[in-house]
Structure formats: C-alpha cells, structure tokens
Amino acid sequence: MRVFIAGVDGYLGWSLAMYLQARGHEVAGADSYHRRDWIAEMGSQSATPIRRMTDRLQAFRENFNTNLQFIRGDLTDYNFVWNFFRAFQPESIVHLAEMPSAPYSMIDAEHASFTHTNNLIGTLNILHVMRDVCPDAHMVKLGTMGEYGTPNIDIPEGFFEIEYRGRKDTLPFPKKAGSWYHQTKVHDTNNIMMACRFWGLRSTDIMQGPVFGTRIDEMGDDERLLTRFDFDQVFGTVINRYCAQAVIGYPLTPYGKGFQKRGFLPLRDSMQCLTITVENPPDKGEYRVFNQFEEVYDLTELAFLVQKVSKKLGLKVEIRNLENPRMELEEHYYNPDHQHLLDLGYVPAISIEDEMEIMLKDLMKYKHRIEARAHALIPDIRWDGSRRKVGFLDKKEG
Amino acid sequence: MRVFIAGVDGYLGWSLAMYLQARGHEVAGADSYHRRDWIAEMGSQSATPIRRMTDRLQAFRENFNTNLQFIRGDLTDYNFVWNFFRAFQPESIVHLAEMPSAPYSMIDAEHASFTHTNNLIGTLNILHVMRDVCPDAHMVKLGTMGEYGTPNIDIPEGFFEIEYRGRKDTLPFPKKAGSWYHQTKVHDTNNIMMACRFWGLRSTDIMQGPVFGTRIDEMGDDERLLTRFDFDQVFGTVINRYCAQAVIGYPLTPYGKGFQKRGFLPLRDSMQCLTITVENPPDKGEYRVFNQFEEVYDLTELAFLVQKVSKKLGLKVEIRNLENPRMELEEHYYNPDHQHLLDLGYVPAISIEDEMEIMLKDLMKYKHRIEARAHALIPDIRWDGSRRKVGFLDKKEG
C-alpha cells in the first residue's frame, strides 16, 4: 500500500516508516523539523543521538534497499500538501505531524495559539486535499486518550448510544480535555468526523495512550536508525521520563498524589496497531475511533515497576512525588474500552517489565546525554500560566 | 457596568452598544471591519445604508450624550487585546467578533482555515488576557444553537446528566455541528469551558438561534444609527433573506424540503437577552450555557408567515424551494430547552408577525439597495466544495 507519513522525523513517524517498509508497503513522508526546534527551545535533547534527516535517509536506503521519498514541508502550507498528494497519490495517510505536548501548549497565549494553528490547519488542509486529490484514501489520525479526560463513567470507543428523556440516539462521547494541546485533538476529532460525513472520506481516529520505549526490532544494530527519545518535562511522557531518571540516579517523580490512571503501550505495539489500522481501512464515508493502548496503570504503579526493573539491573532508584504543575484529577475512576484493535488482530508483543528492561539498557548507553540535560526533567510550566520549578512534596532537600 | 463589545461595528454589536448605553452602562468597543470586507467579497451590501464608524460614533455622541470608546483592532493580535483590557478594565466582555457564516467557511480550504484562525485565536487571546488583566470579568460569548446540530433527542442547555452502564456523570452535551463555522463555535465552547475550570474565569456561552429584524427602539429616527442588514446567501439569515426577497418581488426560497427547524428570535430580544446576561454574571469559575431563542419554526412555516405579512402590506409573494446547497437533515426531531433566560426575566417583546411587518416597512425604503445586489440572494457555495448556483426544485423557469 502507498502510505504517506506526516511527521516522519518524529518518535512514532520514523519508527513507523521502517516498520511499514519492512512489511512491504511503499512509504513516503514529510516533516517540518519543528520537533527538533521545540526540544532545543526547551533546553533539552533526545537521549538517543538521532541523526539529521539526510543521514537517516541514507541509513534507510542501506538497510531497506529502497528509497524513502521525503520532502521537508509544513502541513499548514496548503500547496505543499496538495503537491505532495497529487504526485504520490497516497492510499493511506498516517497523520503524526501535530504538536504533541500538553505543557508546551500551556506556556502562554502564543504557544496556545501556535498549537491551535499548527494542529488544526494542518488537518484541515489534509482533509481538503483528500477531498479533491485522493478521495478514496484513508487518513489514520493520531488523537489521544486525553480527549476524553477522566469522566466518572466508562469510556467507549468514540460513540455511545444514550437514552435521554425517553428518546435514543448514538452520539459522539462527550470530551473533556485537560490542556490546549488535548483540546486541539478534540477539535480535530470534530472536524474529521464532519469531513467524513460531508465528503465521503474515510478516517480512523486513534485515541492513543502514552507510548514508551526506545526501539523496535527493525532498527537492528544500526545506531543511525534509532528514533528520538525525549525525557524533558515538555515532550517526555511518563514512563520514558522515569527510565531516564532511573539511569542517571535521579528519583522517579510522579506528579501530585500520583494516582492518575492512563492507558499505556510500548512503541512496538503502537507500530503494530497503526499498521493493523492502515491495512484494514474503514468504508467510504466511515469515521471510526480506536482506543489504542495495552493496559491501564496509575503513575505510582509505573514508578514501582521502573524501580523494580532498575533494581534487577543494579540501579538504585528512589520515588519522590513532585508538586503537580498540571490541573487534573489525581484520583479518579477510569475504565476505557479498547476492543476494536484486538478484534482486528492486535496481540501485545511484550510485557511492560521486559520492555522497561530493554529501555533501561538502551538508555544506559546514553546516560551522559541525559545527565547533560537533567535540568529539563523537572517541570516549571504550570497550568496557571506561571513558570516556576515545582518542588518535592516530601519537603526533603531537592 | 463597564462593558467591552468585541465586534461593535456588526449587526448585533452596534445595536448592543446603544441598548446598553441607554440602560446606563459604560460601553467601549473594538472592530476590525472584517465584516464590511466579507460582504464586499461576496458582491453584496447591507440593505440599510450603514455609515462608516467615524460617522456612527458622531451620531452616538449626539444621541446618547456620551462618547463610545472605540479602537480599530483585531482580536487575533494579542497585544491589542492586552492593551485595550489593561486600559478599560472591562467588567463584562461581550464577544461578538467572530466570522459568523457557515457558507463563508465552506468556500475552500483557505476560508476554512481563516475561520478557524480568526475565531479560535481571538477567543484564546481574550481568555489569556482575562486571566492576567481582569480575572473577575465575565465573558459573554456568542455561540450558536448550530453547535448541537439536530440530534434525535432533546437538547439541554449545555450539560446533561447521563447514566451509562450503571454509572452516572454530568457531562457536556455532545455536539454535531454542520459547517466549519459551526465547528469553530464548538471548539470555542470546549476551550472556554476549560479556561473557566483552570483559571477561575466566568463565562456565559450563548447558544443563539438565527436573529431577524432591522431595528431596535434605541435607533429612533436617526438613519445614522441603523445597524447593518445582510441578505446575501452568505451572511443573510433566513428570515432576513425572506423579507429582502419579499420586498423586491422575488420568490421566498427555502432550501431543499424546507422542514429544517431552528429556534429564532428578533434583534430586540437578542439585545434584551444579552443585557440580562451581562447584568447577571455567573459565579467565579462558572461556565454556563444559555440557549437563546424565542420559538422554533421550520423554514416553510417562516416562508408562509412572511408571505402572510407581505400580503397585508400589498406585496404579492411566491414561495419556491431551491436545491439545498448545504448538507443537512431536511426533516428531523428538534426540541431544545430554553429556560435559563426566562428564569432570569426574559420576556419576548413582540410577536414574530409584528416584527416582520416592521422589517418589511423598513426594507421597502431600501428596495433599490436590495435590487442592486439581488444576484447575491441565490446560493452558489455548496457543501461539496463546488461553486455553482442552485436551481429551483419545481423546475419552472428560474
């Protein structure tokens, strides 16, 4: 299948290009390199020493015996999208090209606006170009489980049948996102749903939980094929951040009470799920939602797991809760469905502890790169708009 | 109360400035004049001969013995919003400054993107400036009943308690908007709700139905005080369009089957409701929703009413259905609540037929201005992205 990956220089995008190529798909991609700039803006760097795109493409050619069609460009530029799609005629479009960080979007009005413009306009352009250039293509859109927030009822996959005052309808499940970033994903969801209804487009909206992991098998031993690994307060997701902390002997730092629950999955499962989705497109005009995660954990359970695996590797790791820079429920009901991908054949590939062990071993090689940016691990971006480093809740010396 | 009106040069904004001033409030306003440009872009003009802002301000001073503080500016410019709010310190912010047309937003990718950027960034800037400059102020935000779409169940005012799989929660009512414009209002709703939750702001989100009417009493006989009246396919709402058609002897043109139901209210009731809302702010941190309309009609009932009133005034009027350029349900269940404003004292001021009579008499004075832009009455902007004039459904000569 001809698959276009938007955001092919990113954590998921670069991995997916290899994963799909190894399975016989024809892959093309685009990226604006924004992510590299954002990480620099946050004073951090990828723990893995990622190469610039020209070197990545060279390594891709050597390892997969084929070229990855790549153009640097920005999805907010309509002409760029139109020209790329016109030439490549994608059958599947995997849209991983949005600004993906809650804290980044909460910095100030400018970052909130940038997040809205970047994420919404990019997706609007893809929808319009699909309508006019490749109306049968399938957009696999990366949303987030965070769109739902943490309601006090079960979370279905996108839609639910409700009875209200004696009448019934099937409606989109109400969303309650917790940052400007998460809101832009909700806005996208509403926009994509409408475009499918009006224009007969097909799309799968992936409500993905936080992903963790340093590698997939397709990277082999070629360091040039490594994907990025961010551990800073802004772009590092929780398990990745914990593992980076463990490797440099810094305490693991759940925010607040630490009983926030989320659904997590390893990078290799994210690749498996996205590929299953690409290979099983919805009907014309169909908009469907997959909740994409393997299992639900709370932040404290995860810290204990990282601690346990670290100990096995001879790393001594403390857990110390930090003041929560976010505004969120720290103890709540959480029971989201996640059946659609299992029905299509998703089989979790590895236990969470085995994956953590691989991660910690990988990261130990790059310990110096994490140490060099250790300051970036502790949040200072707060949901009230101020910017002050948070402190430990146990009041011991920090 | 110190009230800032965003969009004070518009249909509602200009009327509201007078309505509030006459009730003793201190009014300031801003406008970018975008609306004047959009109407020109659509090849149309206001039926009422509206004056440029400098003349309007002069007339305002003469009639209300006070100055209306005005600065030309754009809400998407953060510094503009910050400086205005810093100086004026509004207690109430009535936000009427969004691009308000469904067809305009559906023209192409560029208009869809403009609508998103203009509407969302303006509101985001207001929210951020409120947080930092006037955190106790109340934002009265113009949304639309169109955010809800036409679900097969009753529509509450914003929130509903649901039971799902044996558990209960009170959640935002699911939205199903029918154009990019309507989607931007849904996006705003989600954003404002979150800002109130995080930052303790207070806001009333007005889900308003289509407004009709040429005047409010405060305009008196001074033609310089008239508000704009658009009748074109893009910015003319249905009753206003029907009345313009009646005056020039053109058939009234419901779209499609013509059984689409909406909740309508006259301009003077819109002013009454907005003023009640301004004068009864919510608690700190409270986000509330008012469904703002007087009564539900379908498009055919409305055509018959305009026909009846026209006949009384000696105008002979036909009704001929047009091909529907939109994608929407043309026959559907529709039962939205609208109790909150009635509870606060809203008393509908006039019967729909009496208001139509006033409108037709006003518009007869400006018949030549409507005739000069009669071509703008018939839609060519279609929801499928094409631009072709629609035809009459009865196949007679058009």
Q: Other C-beta atoms within 10 Å of A258: how many?
A: 21
Torsion sign, CA atoms B87, B91, B97, B98: positive
For the record, the structure tokens of A275 come out as 């590929």
Q: Which residue has the tokens 């970047």?
A: A118
- Shortest distance between the Cα of B199 and any Cα of chain A, in A, equals 6
Which tokens sit at B371?
A: 């005739």
Catalytic positions of B:
144, 181, 185
| Model pLDDT, residue B398 | 47
Q: Do A113 and B124 touch (CB under 8 A)?
A: yes
Contact A117 B112 (CB under 8 A): no
CA A50 from chain center: how many Å?
Answer: 18
- Which ranges constitute the DSSP H helices of B32-136? 34-41, 53-64, 78-88, 102-105, 109-116, 122-133
Torsion of CA B1, B4, B8, B10, to 10 degrees: -90
Q: Which residue on chain A is closest to B169 by alpha carbon?
A: A152
Q: How close A156 gets to chain B, by Cα (Å)?
A: 10
For an interface test with B, the pick among A117, A170, A190, A329 (most B C-beta atoms closer than 10 Å) comes out as A190
Per annotation, catalytic residue among A48, A115, A123, A144 = A144
pLDDT digits (tens, 9 = 90+) for B77-127: 999 999 999 999 999 999 999 999 999 999 999 999 999 999 999 999 999
* Cα–Cα distance measured from residue B139 to residue A329, given in angstroms and rounded to the nearest whole number: 26
Indicate if the pLDDT at residue B397 is higher than 90: no
From first to last of the 398 residues of chain A, give the pLDDT tens digit: 999 999 999 999 999 999 999 999 999 999 999 999 999 999 999 999 999 999 999 999 999 999 999 999 999 999 999 999 999 999 999 999 999 999 999 999 999 999 999 999 999 999 999 999 999 999 999 999 999 999 999 999 999 999 999 999 999 999 999 999 999 999 999 999 999 999 999 999 999 999 999 999 999 999 999 999 999 999 999 999 999 999 999 999 999 999 999 999 999 999 999 999 999 999 999 999 999 999 999 999 999 999 999 999 999 999 999 999 999 999 999 999 999 999 999 999 999 999 999 999 999 999 999 999 999 999 999 999 999 999 999 976 54
Q: Among B140, B285, B279, B123, which Cα is nearest to B206's? A: B140
**DSSP letter (8 states) at residue B339:** -
Q: How many CA atoms lie within 13 A of A16 on its CB side?
A: 33
Interface of B with A in 154-173 (CB under 8 A): 154, 160, 162, 164-165, 167-169, 171-173
| Long-range pairs for B81-87: beta carbons < 8 A, 24 or more residues apart | B81/B125, B81/B126, B81/B129, B82/B129, B82/B132, B82/B133, B84/B4, B84/B28, B84/B30, B85/B4, B85/B129, B85/B130, B85/B133, B85/B134, B86/B133
Residue B393 has pLDDT above 70, yes or no: yes
**Dihedral sign, Cα of residue A72, residue A74, residue A79, residue A82:** positive
- For residues A64 and A1, is the Cβ–Cβ distance under 8 A? no
CB-CB under 8 Å, A178 with B194: yes
Residue A368 contacts B where some CB pair is shorter than 8 Å: no
Q: What is the pLDDT averaged over residues B232-247?
A: 98
User: Using CA atoms, how far apart are residues B113 and B105, in angstroms rounded to an integer?
Assistant: 8
Percent of chain B with pLDDT over 90: 99
**Closest Cα to residue B123, out of B146, B97, B148, B84?**
B97
Helix (H, G, I), strand (E, B) or coil at B129: helix
**Among the listed residues A377, A145, A49, A101, the one whose alpha carbon sits nearest the alpha carbon of residue A242:** A377
Q: How far apart are CA A159 and CA A170, in angstroms?
A: 7
CB contact under 8 A, A174 and B174: yes
Find the residue in B nearest to A327 (Cα).
B198
Q: Which chain B residue shows the shortest CA-CA distance from A151?
A: B169
Half-sphere exposure of A310 (CA within 13 A, CB side): 25
| A190 contacts chain B (CB < 8 A) | yes
Q: In this complex, is the C-beta atom of A117 within 8 Å of any C-beta atom belonging to chain B?
A: yes
Single-letter residue type at B105? S
**CB of A89 closer than 8 Å to CB of A48:** no
CB atoms within 10 A of CB A387: 12
Contact A186 B183 (CB under 8 A): no
A366 as an active site residue: the answer is no
DSSP strand pairing (B69-72 vs B26-31): parallel
Written as one letter, the residue type at B57 is: L
Q: Is 0.90 surpassed by the pTM of this model? A: yes
The confidence score (pLDDT) of residue B301 equals 98
User: Is B52 in CB contact (< 8 Å) with chain A?
Assistant: no
Are A153 and B168 in contact (CB < 8 Å)? yes
Which residues on neighbouring strands pair with residue B263, listed in sequence order? B296
Looking at the DSSP bridge assignments, the partners of residue A297 are A262
Q: Where are the beta strands (DSSP E) in chain A?
A: 2-6, 26-31, 69-72, 92-95, 138-144, 159-164, 167-172, 202-208, 211-212, 261-266, 287-292, 295-298
What per-residue string of b and e applies to B57-74 under the rule 16 or more CB within 10 Å gives b?
bebbeebbeeebbbeebb
Q: Which residues contact B343 (CB under 8 A, 6 or more apart)?
A: none
Tell me: the pLDDT tens digits for B179-211? 999 999 999 999 999 999 999 999 999 999 999
CB within 8 Å of chain B, chain A residues 69-88: 78
Contact A116 B112 (CB under 8 A): no
Distance CA A240, CA A245 (A): 9
Question: In whole angstroms, what is the distance from residue A198 CA to residue B70 CA?
Answer: 41
Strands in B261-266's sheet, in edge-to-edge order, are: B211-212, B261-266, B295-298
Residue of B nearest to A77 (CA): B110
CB–CB contact B125 A108 (8 Å):
no
Instruction: Give CA–CA dist A334/A261, Å, rounded.
Output: 7
Mean pLDDT to the nearest integer, B122-140: 98
Pairing relation of β-strands B202-208 and B287-292? parallel
Please provide the DSSP assignment of A3-37 as one string: EEEETTTSHHHHHHHHHHHHTT-EEEEEE--HHHH
What whole-number distance in Å separates Cα of residue A190 and Cα of residue B187?
Answer: 8
Residues of A in contact with B125 (CB under 8 A): 109, 113
CB contact (8 A) between residue B116 and residue A132: no
pLDDT higher than threshold 90 for residue B270? yes
CB contact under 8 A, B162 and A165: no
Sign of CA dihedral B16, B21, B23, B24: positive
Residue of A nearest to B130 (CA): A109
Tell me the two tokens of residue B314.
């000696």
C-beta of residue B229 within 8 angstroms of C-beta of residue A212 = no
Helices (H) and strands (E) in chain A, counts: 14, 12
Q: Which residue of A has its CA nearest to B185?
A: A187
Q: What are the φ/ψ torsions at residue B305 (nearest 5 degrees)?
A: -65, -45
- Token pair of A153 as six digits: 């009822």
**What pLDDT, on a 0 to 100 scale, did the predictor assign at position B395?**
74
A192 part of contact set with chain B, CB < 8 Å: no
